[in-house]
Structure 1
Amino acid sequence: MASSVLRALILVIALSLFISSAECLTGDSIIEHSQSVDGGLCFNLIRPCGYNCLEHTAQTNDGFLLGLQRVSSGILNLEIQTSPPVLLLHGLFMGGDAWFMNSPNQSLGFILADRGFDVWVGNVRGTKWSHGHQSLSEGDKEFWDWSWEEMALYDLETMLSYINSKTSSKVFVVGHSQGTIMSLAAFTEPNVVNMVEAAALLSPISYLDHITSKFVLNLVHMYLDEALGLLGMHQLNLKSDILINMIESACDNGNLDCSDMLASITGENCCFNSSRVDVYLEYEPHPSSVKNLKHLFQMIRKGTFARYDYGTIKNLLQYGKLKPPTFDLSKIPKSLPIWMAYGGNDALGDVIDVQHTLKELKSKPNVLFLEDYGHVDFLLSTRAYEDLYENMINFFRSCGNGMSSSF
C-alpha cells in the first residue's frame, strides 16, 4: 500500500515537472526546466511557442552523435519544406537553445522561421542537446579529446552533409562567436564550403590576440587551462563544484574582477535585458572540453589561427612539422557571399582582430559595425531585429539562386 502511494506521488511530481518544462520563454517568465526530465530542445523550448520542430541526429566521422532540430513557423509543414535551409551555430558554453532565449519577435531562430526559412539548429559535441558518442561515454577522457578544430572539420561538415541530404540544397550558415571560428576554419576546406550558399557571422573570430576581456586575460595569465589539465580534468563544466570554487577563490583573492562578471568577460552590452539572466541560466552554460579552452588560450597567447598545438615533438608526429598548420583564410573562395556584424564594445571579438580577418579574406564581405554592441548583444539584444537581423535577412535574400522575395 505504502509503496503504491509512493509510486503515485513520484508519478505526480514527475508529470508536474514534465508539463511545466514545456513553456514558451515569453516576457520575463522563467521556465521550470529539469535536467532529469528531458524531452529534447524541440519539446522544451520551441514547440511551446507554437512552432513546428523535429529532432534529428547526425553522426560524425569520429563517432559523435550530434543533435539537430528542424524548425518552421506553425503554418508550414516541415515534411514538405521547400524554403531555403539555414544552419545556426552557437557559441562556446552554449547550445542550440541560445537562438531561442528571448521572445519569438526577438530571437533569431524564431524570426528566421517566421520569415519562411527552413531553420536547422546545430548542437556541437559535448553539449546537452547532442547525444553522446557511438562507443564512448562522457566519463571517458577520450570523449573530451577535441577542440573547436574537430567541431570545424567534423561537426560542421556532418551537419551540412545531413541538411543537404534532406533538402537537396546548399545551406545558409549563421554563426556566433565560436560558431564563426568553426565556420571560417571549415570554409577553407573545399568539400565543406561547396555545400554553403552564403554565411552570416556575428562577432566573427579567427584571431584573438587583441581581446580586451579582463576576466579572460587574467585566466590566460593564470594558465587556468594548464592547471585544469594537471588536475586531470577533461570535461569543462562551469556548473561543476570544482570550477565554481576555483573562480570564487580567485574573485575573493582579488586575482579577478568579479564585480560585473558579464561585462568583464564580454564587454559592455548595450541592449541585453539583465532581468532575464535567471531565464538564460536555466539552459546555459553547456559543457565543453578543457582541450577546447586550451586551444582558445593558445590563440590568445600566440596570435595565430591554427590547428591545436601539441608541442614540438607531438606536432612532428601529428603534422610532420614543428608548428601546427594555420587555417589560411585566403583559401575561402572569393565567390562565397559573407556578411559580418561586429561591435565596438565587444571584448572578445575585438575590432582590431576583425580587421585582421577581413584583410586576409579574398572577398569583401558585407560588413555591419555597431559601435555600442558588446559580444552578447549580437545574440540577446532586445533591439537585434531592427539593428542587425533584418539586414542579415536582406543579405540572404540577395544571395540564393532564384530565392523568392517572400522569404
Structure 2
Amino acid sequence: VLRALIGLNEFSPNSEFLAEAGQLTCSDEAPTQSVCGNIIFLFTGFDSQQLNETMLPVILGHTPAGASTRQTIHYGQEVKSGYFRQYDYGSLENSLKYGSVDPPNYDLSKVSAPVALHYSNNDWLASPTDVDALESELPNVIGKFLVPLDQFNHIDYLWAIDAKTLVYDTVISIMRQY
C-alpha cells in the first residue's frame, strides 16, 4: 500500500499522497511547519532566510516529478566513484554494453554550446570544487557566477525569495547575449 502511495520506481515522486501530506504538515497553521523546511534542508543545504515557509504546501504539492530509481542510483555511483561517467551496470553487463568492465566517462570536450556555470557555497549537491572541475573539462565556458549569498543552497535556485535578483536576472541577461 505504501508503495502505491509514494511510488515504486521513483525517488521523491510527486503524488497526491505527498501533496496532501505536505498540505497537512506544512501549512501556516501546522505546528510541524518548521520540520518541513528542515527536511528539505537535509537534502539541499540550510538556508532559512530564503525559504518562504508559507509557500511550503505549494512547493511540496507542485514539486518536479522526481527522479527514477536508476537515476538516483547513477548519481550515487558518480559520487562514490568520483567520476562523471555513464551508468555502471556491473562488470559483465558493462563489458557487453560498453566494451569495458568500467563505464566510460562522459566526454565533455564534445560540448559545443556556450555554458554559464552558476554555483553557491552552500549547495550540497554541487560544491564549488565540483564546479571548478566541471569548468576545467568544458571547452566553452562563458562565465562562472558565484551566487553572492553564502547560505544559498541547491533548492534556492527554484524557491528562494530573492532568486530573481540573485540568479535569474543574470541568467536572462546571458541568454539574451547568446
TM-score calculated relative to the size of structure 2: 0.74
User: 2: distance between equivalents of 1:377 and 1:237?
Assistant: 20
| AA aligned opposite 2:170 | N
Superposed displacement of residue 236, structure 1: 1.9
Q: Greater RCO between the two (CA within 8 Å, min separation 6)?
A: 2
Cα–Cα, structure 1 residues 339 and 237, in superposed 2: closer, same or farther, change >3 Å? closer
User: 2: distance between equivalents of 1:305 and 1:238?
Assistant: 23
User: 2: distance between equivalents of 1:394 and 1:304?
Assistant: 32
The answer to whether the 8 A contact 1:313-1:322 is kept is yes
User: 2: distance between equivalents of 1:390 and 1:398?
Assistant: 13
Are residues 1:354 and 2:145 paired? no
Taking only the aligned residue pairs, the percentage that are identical comes to: 29
Partner residue of 1:380 out of 147, 159, 177: 159
Aligned to 1:328: 107
- Structure 1 residue runs without a partner (length 5+): 1-138, 140-232, 242-257, 400-407
Superposed displacement of residue 392, structure 1: 1.4
The structure in which a higher percent of residues are strand is 1
Bigger Rg over Cα = 1
SS in 2 for 1:260: helix
User: 2: distance between equivalents of 1:285 and 1:367?
Assistant: 26
Aligned to 2:43: 265
Divergent runs of 4+, >6 A: none
User: 2: distance between equivalents of 1:309 and 1:259?
Assistant: 34
The answer to whether the 8 A contact 1:343-1:369 is kept is yes
User: 1: distance between equivalents of 2:106 and 2:86?
Assistant: 7
| AA aligned opposite 2:9 | Q
Are residues 1:342 and 2:116 paired? no
The answer to whether the 8 A contact 2:51-2:161 is kept is yes
SS in 1 for 2:141: coil
Are residues 1:307 and 2:81 paired? no
SS in 2 for 1:366: strand
The answer to whether the 8 A contact 2:37-2:56 is kept is no
Superposed displacement of residue 317, structure 1: 0.8
The structure in which a higher percent of residues are helix is 2
User: 1: distance between equivalents of 2:153 and 2:11?
Assistant: 24
| AA aligned opposite 1:275 | T
User: 2: distance between equivalents of 1:377 and 1:313?
Assistant: 41
The answer to whether the 8 A contact 2:120-2:153 is kept is yes
Aligned to 2:60: 281
**Cα deviations across residues 11-38 of structure 1 (Å, max 9, x unaligned)?**
xxxxxxxxxxxxxxxxxxxxxxxxxxxx
Q: CA RMSD in A?
A: 2.5
TM-score calculated relative to the size of structure 1: 0.34
Aligned residue pairs total: 150
